[in-house]
Amino acid sequence: MISIIIPAYKEYENLKTLVPEIHKYLNGDLHEIIVVDDNSGDGTEGIKDARVIVRKGERGLASAVIRGIEECETDGFVVMDGDHQHPPSVLPSLARALDNHELVIGSRYVGDGGTSGWTLTRKFVSRVASLLGRPLCGVNDSSSGLFGTYKSLLNTKELNPIGFKIGLDIYNKLKFKNRTEVPYIFLSRHFGDSKFTSKQIKEYLKQLAQMYYNDYFKQAIKFGIVGGIGTVINIGVLTALTELGGVHYVLSALVAIFVAMTSNFIWNKHWTFKV
């Protein structure tokens, strides 16, 4: 069984046709559909054949996805948009891939994947966004919002509830897991206006900056501290052996280097590069 999590805000017109399509394409698979609505007041709470959770005190795509993960009754789940831009026809492929992988990502940038109806500007922004996120997680379509994984692999308390690219946060946290990318065509929304704005771009850049800081800058500082500790150990052991123990300088130097290298290895493994 698999859960389909759909964060939504004022997507009733899209959801009333999307939900039946999801059921159609997943007809052979046990599944549940969870819609997390940010109190749209547009009738979404009345959508049939789906479990609708209306949040009245919170808003935001990332926190809505986190709530959906916490509420799903299955271990495996897929997150998708509620505006038909993520075609439900790709869900069976994602579900099958999730049987053999810990993380599956719907990708516009592998195989036959792509976009439909986008301007050159939108294509450029999306491509740059994915390239900027790739070093953090090694995923071709790092800005994709269509993905699936397992609830048991995540600690929702550690996920960033701010921003709209919750996928990037999850890809980064699961970057050493068994994963694959499934190609799909990103379509135009059926009803309503796009929620892609300059504010979202700013939030994404802020999210990237925070993640690069956590992944690289903090590690660089830790690496420097460990190097300093190793230098002190090297000098200390060398001094103790030669000056106090009367050991030949060459032998003392070899022992000091070995002890310092061992210390650096242990500290880096269990502190600097701990995952």
CA–CA gap between residue 56 and residue 215 (Å, rounded): 34
CA proximity to 184, closest of 109, 131, 134: 109
Q: What is the pLDDT of residues 207-263, one digit of tens each?
A: 777 777 776 666 667 767 778 888 888 888 888 888 888 888 788 888 888 888 888
Residues 6 or more apart from 90 whose CB is under 8 A from it? 106, 146, 182, 184
Q: What 3-state DSSP class applies to 250?
A: helix
Domain ranges for the chain, please list them. Answer: 2-196, 218-272
Best CA proximity match to 36, nearest among 142, 156, 133, 200: 156
Rounded to an integer, what distance in angstroms lies between the CA atom of residue 230 and that of residue 123?
48
**pLDDT tens digits, 159-213:** 887 766 788 889 988 988 999 999 999 998 777 666 556 666 777 777 777 777 7
* Pairwise CA distance, residues 19 & 191, whole Å: 14
Structure tokens at 120: 């050159």
C-alpha to C-alpha distance for 260 and 234, rounded to whole angstroms: 5
Q: Tell me, what amino acid is at 270?
A: H
pTM of the model: 0.76
Which ranges of 166-217 does DSSP label H, i.e. alpha helix? 166-173, 198-212
* Rounded-to-10 torsion of CA 175, 152, 82, 20: 130
- How confident is the model over 26-68, as pLDDT tens digits? 987 789 999 999 988 888 999 989 999 999 888 888 899 999 9
Using DSSP's 3-state secondary structure scheme, residue 73 falls into coil
d(CA 228, CA 219): 14
Predicted pLDDT of residue 118: 85
Query: Taking each helix axis from N to C terminus, what angle separates 249-267 and 218-239, rounded to the nearest 10 degrees?
Result: 150
Query: According to the model, what pLDDT value does residue 104 have?
Result: 97
Q: What is the pLDDT of residue 190?
A: 75
141: tokens are 């379509």
Q: Is CATH 2.40.110.20 correct for 2-196?
A: no
- Best CA proximity match to 272, nearest among 207, 219, 234, 214: 219
